[in-house]
A = this chain, B = another copy of it.
Amino acid sequence: MSDIAKRFAQNPLLKPSDLQPSIEGMKIACLLNPGVFTYDNKTWMLIRVAERPVQKEDTISFPILKETGTMEIIEIKKDDPELMADDPRVIRYKGSDYLTTLSHLRLVCSEDGVHFSQPENYPLLLGSGKWETFGIEDCRVSKLDDTYYLTYTAVSENGVAVGLRTTKNWKQFEQKGLIFPPHNKDCAIFEERINGKYYAFHRPSSVEIGGNYIWLASSPDGIHWGQHQCIVKTREGMWDSARVGAGAAPIKTKDGWLAIYHGANKEHVYCLGAFLLDLHNPGKVLARTEEPIMMPTEDYELHGFFGKVVFTNGHIAHDDEDTITVYYGAADEFICGARFSIQEICSYLK
């Protein structure tokens, strides 16, 4: 056992009832997986807020966006023989898959990194256009020069892909389209170019041959990507046997790029681990933790919308150069924080 996370005593930092739904008639089902960054001398999170209509007794209803941006509510009788609804996250109906909730991204900020609230006059980030009609999720935020790169899961009936938006001021955003086609998630752009090239983690999934592995790609401009290579795979019989995916951008250390990732086993228990990449050739994996560095143990991690989950895609490195604060989604419902010592993480790398 090697859970080396120092969880905040104030956890969970945010729960669904702490925020208002984006529109009337909706209910926030979960807060999930925040992207994290520093801006204007504050700590900011870009939270995934998953909403659904207030449910009636004999139907299941869920929202989707039209390409124009307007919301449509789909309502299905629970006894409809064409409805399959045994997964809390996905509904299958008449041969098509839908999400039970519609996610948008919402900014909260904090002076102390513990108490977060919504700032005034900043927009919600909503799904927009054809590739985001089922919402946008799990955004990583990377800063290069004066630009923030937002890489997020873009979901529509066309598939689950990776979208990119950029901003300098969190009020105006540029849409850069889908940077990885389906099925892909868990994309984080490195916060520094290496030999003039952008690098990113991403996590394609395979319908046959292959699996849910972490890949690396490079780019001349952050928008067009190539040179894909598989760098971290699932490990049979271990805590990360079913899926692995990168967290936020890796942390630059003197020994290499330190990445925190999530892994899940076949029972869908999500834990965190770490791996180290060569500073100059990030396709080269130097080391990886064998045991998780964090696993679901607290009540708010074990029980929620989808229990037994700790999942991170955002952290803040601190001035002492050893501490990082990892913000994470717990049980697919709550936003939490924990501190790690980088040196301690590195001591578990094999």
Contact = CB atoms under 8 A, between A and B. Distances in A.
Interface of A: 90, 95, 97-99, 130-131, 134, 155-161, 176-184, 202, 204-211, 213, 215, 217-221, 223-230, 233, 236
A206 B209 contact: no
22 contacts: A90-B208, A95-B236, A130-B230, A156-B210, A157-B209, A158-B213, A159-B206, A159-B209, A161-B228, A177-B228, A178-B228, A180-B181, A181-B202, A182-B206, A183-B183, A183-B205, A183-B206, A205-B207, A207-B207, A219-B224, A220-B220, A223-B227
A159 B97 contact: no
A122 B228 CA distance: 29
Contacts of A230: 130-131, 158-159
Contacts of A131: 229-230
A98 to B, nearest CB: 8
A177 B225 CA distance: 11
Nearest to A211: B159
B178 A229 contact: yes
Interface of A is mostly: strand
Contact of A229 (B130, B134, B219, B226): B130
Number of copies: 2
B228 A225 contact: no
B219 A157 contact: no
Rank and list the top 9 A-B pairs by shortest CB-CB distance, nearest first: A159-B210, A224-B224, A224-B226, A158-B230, A178-B228, A181-B228, A177-B227, A181-B204, A97-B209
Nearest to A178: B228
Given A182-B210, A184-B181, A226-B176, A159 B204 contact: yes
Nearest to A184: B181
A57 to B, nearest CB: 27
A209 B134 contact: yes
Contacts of A217: 181
B183 A226 contact: no
A155 B207 CA distance: 13
B215 A181 contact: yes
Contacts of A183: 183, 204-208, 210
A100 B184 CA distance: 28
A14 to B, nearest CB: 27
